[in-house]
Structure formats: structure tokens, C-alpha cells
Amino acid sequence: MGISLHSLLQGYYMVSFFCVVSLLRASTADPGKLQDSPKIPLTEKEFWELCNKCNMMRPKRSHHCSRCGHCVRKMDHHCPWINNCVGEDNHWLFLQLCFYTQLLSGYTLILDFCHYYYFLPLKTTTWDLFVFRHELALLRISTFMGIVMFGGMCSLFYTQVVGILTDMTTIEKMSNCCDEISRARKPWQQTFSEVFGTRWKILWFIPFRRRRPLRVSYYFANHV
């Protein structure tokens, strides 16, 4: 019992740690801001367009974020929770953040359940087991927060995954602009590998690394 409870708690700290790291990295990372005078590769020239807000050339599928005041490559949306844009270069961190928050709130709910059903009845036999006077109140707050976060994060994560599978950013989905572009359906491994910048699936879950774009330029491949 002692060992299993310990590993349960260590697992909880691990998930919390991954959650905090992906939060910090997603909020501080460069989402894919466009440089002032970008070098446009000759072969891609026709896939660039002018932004009428900052008067700069940008690759197609970029979007101008009015809150950040610049264009972001393959922008998904501006996220007020991380106070940063979600774009090509930090989309993978945002996905990890959703994933680990989801995992953490689910984990919290399981621990709350255990606490309520297995540990609370022990109170009647040994009072010393419990430290806090307001334990039950804390438990209820924790359960409430857990349900709210778990529900919210599940739906957000689901929308994000569907977006990646259909290769559409949230902005494109909202504006219905891209129905006329017939995109070749790519296998899911390919679309996820492009977002995470690696084909190694285990690395998709690791926030401690640098993302390197895959060799294929996606907007080029998509719009042909």
C-alpha cells in the first residue's frame, strides 16, 4: 500500500511538472513571428502574399495577430491563457499543454475519488491521519475545478486534434476561407510529424527539446 501510494503521488508530481514546463515554454516561445525582411526562396515566390496591416511579405496561411501586432506563420489562434499566439513554432507546445492539463485534471479527479471513498472513512477510526481542518471543503473545490478543467480541456484537445488531422488552423475553420482549396489528405502520422517537427512519436510528448521543421514545406505541398 505504501509503495503504490508513493508511486501514485510521484506520478502526479511528474505530470504536474510536465504541465508546468509545457505552459512556460508555450507562453514564452516564439510562435513563428515573421522577420522584417524575409528571404523568399525563388521556388516559393508565388506562395507568398502581402499583409495589408504591416505591409510585409509573408507565406500563405500566415495571419496578422492584432493583439501581438505582427504576422505569425501558420497561426492557429491567439491564446489569452498563455498570453501568446499559437503558430507554427509553438503549436506542438500548446498541444502538449492541453494534453498534460487534461491528464493532470483527470488524475486529480481520480485522487479526489480515492480520498473521498477510501481515506475519509478512516477518519472515524484515526483522527491523526488528517492534517487539515477544512479537508472536505478543499476536496470539493478540487473536484469542482477538476471537472471544469477536464471537460474544457477534453473538448479543446479534441478540436485541436481534428484541426491537425484535417490540416486546418482554427482561423481557417472560422473564416471558411479554404473550402475551395482541395487538399490531398495526408496520413495522420505525417500531419502530426509536421506539427511536432519529428517523426519519433515518443518525442511528441516531450517538452524539453527544440523543434526542427521537417524538410517538406507544408504550405508549398498543400497548395499545389
Report the catalytic residues.
79
Query: Binder to Zn ion among 26, 85, 104, 171 (CB under 5 A)?
Result: 85
To the nearest whole angstrom, how small is the minimum distance from the Cβ of residue 32 to Zn ion?
11
Residues 51 and 122 sit within 8 Å (Cβ to Cβ) = no
Site residues for Zn ion, window 113-172 (CB under 5 A)?
none
CA dist., res. 119 & res. 5, Å (int): 12
For position 71 contacting Zn ion by CB under 5 A, the verdict is yes
Q: Write out the binding residues for Zn ion, residues 51-70 only, by CB under 5 A.
A: 51, 53-54, 64-65, 67-68
Residues 1-60 that bind Zn ion (CB under 5 A): 51, 53-54
Q: Confirm if 156 and 76 have CB atoms less than 8 A apart.
A: no
**Residue 148 Cα to chain centre, angstroms:** 18
First to last CA, the chain: 60
Output helix, strand, coil percentages for the chain, rounded to the nearest 5. 55, 10, 35
Dist CA 5 CA 3 (whole Å): 5
The position carrying cell 525563388 is 42
The site for Zn ion, by CB under 5 A, has a size of: 10
CB 223, min distance to Zn ion, A: 19
Which CB sits closer to Zn ion, 34 or 104?
Answer: 34
Q: Please state the closest distance from residue 64 (CB atom) to Zn ion, in A.
A: 3
Q: Given the complex with Zn ion, which of 67 and 212 has the nearer CB atom?
A: 67
Please name the residue ranges forming H helices in the chain: 2-28, 91-114, 135-165, 170-175, 188-196, 218-222
Judged by beta carbon, residue 67 or residue 210, the one nearer Zn ion is: 67
| Cβ closest to Zn ion, residue 18 vs residue 78 | 78
**Binder of Zn ion out of 15, 78, 88, 167 (CB under 5 A):** 78
Residues that bind Zn ion (CB under 5 A): 51, 53-54, 64-65, 67-68, 71, 78, 85
